[in-house]
A and B are shown apart, each in its own frame.
Chain A
Amino acid sequence: GAVVSQHPSRVICKSGTSVKIECRSLDFQATTMFWYRQFPKQSLMLMATSNEGSKATYEQGVEKDKFLINHASLTLSTLTVTSAHPEDSSFYICSARADRAYEQYFGPGTRLTVT
């Protein structure tokens, strides 16, 4: 149980284009989903927290207009990187948490490369 999927696993896009990453909780309802960014050999950096049906809460320093987050259902959240630039290249990981739970379950991650 507690499986979270992400799609795509890898994506390469040209500078200036937008990319959408999907995060799904497959066997539980996720009232809260989180989006992280991870640089090589570093820990995870929380970008934003989203609750189903509400606007996402972004961490300080994260541009909300660049990283659009939608959490339209209890099993799906999307992260759209708009007008991507090479510095946005990174490993993006989502996690999901069920209502009244404390542990988060993580997706396998998406490797984004912007050329």
Chain B
Amino acid sequence: AQSVTQLDSQVPVFEEAPVELRCNYSSSVSVYLFWYVQYPNQGLQLLLKYLSGSTLVESINGFEAEFNKSQTSFHLRKPSVHISDTAEYFCAVTFSWGAQKLVFGQGTRLTINP
């Protein structure tokens, strides 16, 4: 069965410090990978996605993630975080077959301290 594991439930960092949010998946078939961000009492916003091509994908607000097939990982990174990045981050995968449902990780709470 396919699954997604976010290894850290909470990550506290200081403003302007770098951060990495880890995501590993388990699947026997090809996957498509996503990172979503959720601000308090809001829905999820698509942050970035990997469908094919370059394994390094970037978002418009400075986040990037790299698909590593051999390590079955899709870690999210940002070189310098801001207070406004405080949110819940969800890693998710879907597959090219079937109903193409999203399988979510447990989420990582990123807290930026001044």
Q: Which of B46, B94, B96 contacts A105 (CB 8 A)?
A: B46
Contacting pair A43 B43 (CB below 8 A): no
- The minimal Cβ–Cβ distance linking A7 to chain B, given in whole angstroms, is 13
Write the B65-93 contact mask toward A (1 if CB under 8 angstroms, else 0). 00000000000000000000000001000
Q: Determine the interface band of chain B, counting residues with CB < 8 A from chain A.
A: 20 to 34
Cα A91 to Cα B41 in complex, Å, equals: 9
Contacting pair B100 A6 (CB below 8 A): no
For chains A and B in complex, what number of residue pairs have CB atoms within 8 angstroms? 53
Write the A90-112 contact mask toward B (1 if CB under 8 angstroms, else 0). 01010101000011111111010
Contacting pair A106 B99 (CB below 8 A): no
Q: Which residues from B are CB-within-8-Å of A42?
A: 106-107
- The minimal Cβ–Cβ distance linking A6 to chain B, given in whole angstroms, is 7
* Interface: A25 (CB within 8 A): no
Cα A108 to Cα B41 in complex, Å, equals: 8
Q: Which residue of A lies closest to B42 (CB)?
A: A108
Write the residues of chain B forming the contact surface with A, with a CB cutoff of 8 angstroms.
32, 34, 36, 41-46, 49, 51, 90, 94, 96, 99-102, 104-107, 109
